[in-house]
Amino acid sequence: MRRSITVFPKLTDKEVSAIVETRKQYARAFNMSVDCLVTNNSTSKRFLHKVQYERIKEECPTLPTGLIQCARDVAVEAVKTWNVKRTKLKQKHPKRAERMKRPSMKEKCTMRYDVRTVTLRGSQLTFSTCDRRIRTIILIPGFFTERYPETDGWKLKGANIGIDRKGRVFVNLIYECHDPVIEENKDGKIVGLDRGVYNIVTTSECVHYGAKDVRRVKRKYNHVRSVLQEKGTRSAKRRLKSISGCEKRFVHDQNHCISKKLANTDEDVSIYVLEDLSSMNMKRLKGKSNKTMRKWLSAWSYSDLEFKLAYKCQRNGIRVEFVDARYTSQKCCVCKTIDKASRKGNRYVCRHCGNSMHADVNAAINIRDSYITQTSKSGQAAVNQPYGWSATGKPETEPVGKTLTSKPSGLS
């Protein structure tokens, strides 16, 4: 298990310029390593070290050896991922795979440090650069040391050091600890979660987490931004710079609050089921929806919520599972008929059986039920039964040979 925290140390101009120079040489070392690996068709660290180390040392004379090794390790990882991606692409589009660019690093990169090149003793942080080792005092927030204490086995594993858009040097400290054995809650309920633009999350237990505040704040910043951009004066640009990030921080905070509430629920929950939106084709969706919808969609932070929910639930022994996102908002949760016309705004009124309920709750129940069907089909016992029908009974009927547009629920 890993956790990270970012700190902004106060450094002198000389130290900052040393970091800038280190970054340049680090990127060069990385690019040289990648070139060597790709041309020799290898992913071996030992081979790379044998062949390329002396040459990198010549090209980047002041880059510390420890950092050359870090750049090498990052390069090996990057080439490995690149190879996997390329092999996958080759099966579908051989020409595109040929054209795929090899991994490269720019001068404004973020450097990865390991335990040899960065140390933290008490509040004194030291890390190597081209010039000499920088020593600085940092303050790690109390909540972090309280939650992840050394006594529980949390150890500094390394750091990412770089310079952000505002010109500040940041140090992203990475802590690691052996995965604690958390007993999974196996007898609890399965709860479906439907994510959307109007309600961030709706549970199959009829609890709504509205997006009213998020939408209000986004609307406000959109307006302020457009006014300032139109003005274009120097002070307007200054103001734009200062508000950039405010909106993002607000959305992140909302996602933190919601995922925390879900993970620390009073009810006995063993599994949260979400719809899998990773394969959602945003571009195709954008072509079909109107301008306002497009704007909300592009700013929709569903993956961030997913990530936060997953790690918070893991801590509490709740599992997070994913199911196919198709038809969840068009299907009736009682009679399982798929009919797009049954959905009207935020109500779902089934034209087949007359079931009437909130559209997002209907979708959340569908998400939960399709997980239960999936697991009972694959031989695992279903924990609780879906409403209206027996879990072991009739299988779900999906339309065959019929092409319906697949939209994530809550959007259609």
Residue 355 within binding range of Zn ion, rule CB under 5 A: yes
Residue 100 within binding range of Zn ion, rule CB under 5 A: no
Of 67 and 334, CB closest to Zn ion: 334
Q: Are 66 and 128 in contact (CB under 8 A)?
A: yes
Site string (273-312) toward Zn ion, x via CB under 5 A: ----------------------------------------
Of 120 and 332, CB closest to Zn ion: 332
The interface region with Zn ion, picked from 227-235, 308-316, 334-342, 404-412 by CB under 5 A, is: 334-342
Q: Are 388 and 373 in contact (CB under 8 A)?
A: no
Residue 350 within binding range of Zn ion, rule CB under 5 A: yes
Q: What is the DSSP string of 139-152?
A: ---HHHHHHS-GGG
Site string (360-399) toward Zn ion, x via CB under 5 A: ----------------------------------------
Nearest-angstrom CA–CA distance, 258 and 255: 5
Of 93 and 352, CB closest to Zn ion: 352
Report which of 132, 127, 33, 12 is spatially closest to residue 80, judged by C-alpha positions: 33
The interface region with Zn ion, picked from 136-144, 165-173, 344-352, 357-365 by CB under 5 A, is: 344-352
CB 342 to Zn ion: min, Å: 7
Name the region of 386 (left: φ>0; alpha: ψ -120 to 50; beta: rest). Answer: beta
| Amino acid occupying residue 206 | C
Report which of 361, 360, 264 is spatially closest to residue 309, judged by C-alpha positions: 264
From candidates 84, 206, 282, 353, binder to Zn ion by CB under 5 A: 353
Of 83 and 355, CB closest to Zn ion: 355
Give the CA diameter of the chain.
77
Binding residues for Zn ion, rule CB under 5 A, total 7
User: Alpha carbon 168 to chain centroid distance?
Assistant: 24
Please list every residue from 70 through 99 that binds Zn ion, using CB under 5 A.
none
3-state DSSP assignment of residue 332: coil
Of 48 and 350, CB closest to Zn ion: 350
State how far the alpha carbon of 279 is from the alpha carbons of 284, 286, 288, in Å: 12, 14, 17
From candidates 77, 352, 380, 405, binder to Zn ion by CB under 5 A: 352
CB 78 to Zn ion: min, Å: 51
Q: Are 367 and 351 in contact (CB under 8 A)?
A: no
The interface region with Zn ion, picked from 161-169, 223-231, 330-338, 387-395 by CB under 5 A, is: 330-338
From candidates 37, 169, 274, 332, binder to Zn ion by CB under 5 A: 332
Of 182 and 353, CB closest to Zn ion: 353
From candidates 97, 138, 335, 391, binder to Zn ion by CB under 5 A: 335
Q: Residues 188, 193, 197, CA angle at the centre, nearest 5°?
A: 160
Nearest-angstrom CA–CA distance, 178 and 354: 53
Contacts of 380 (CB under 8 A, 6+ apart): none
Task: Give me the residues that bind Zn ion (CB under 5 A), please.
Answer: 332, 334-335, 350, 352-353, 355
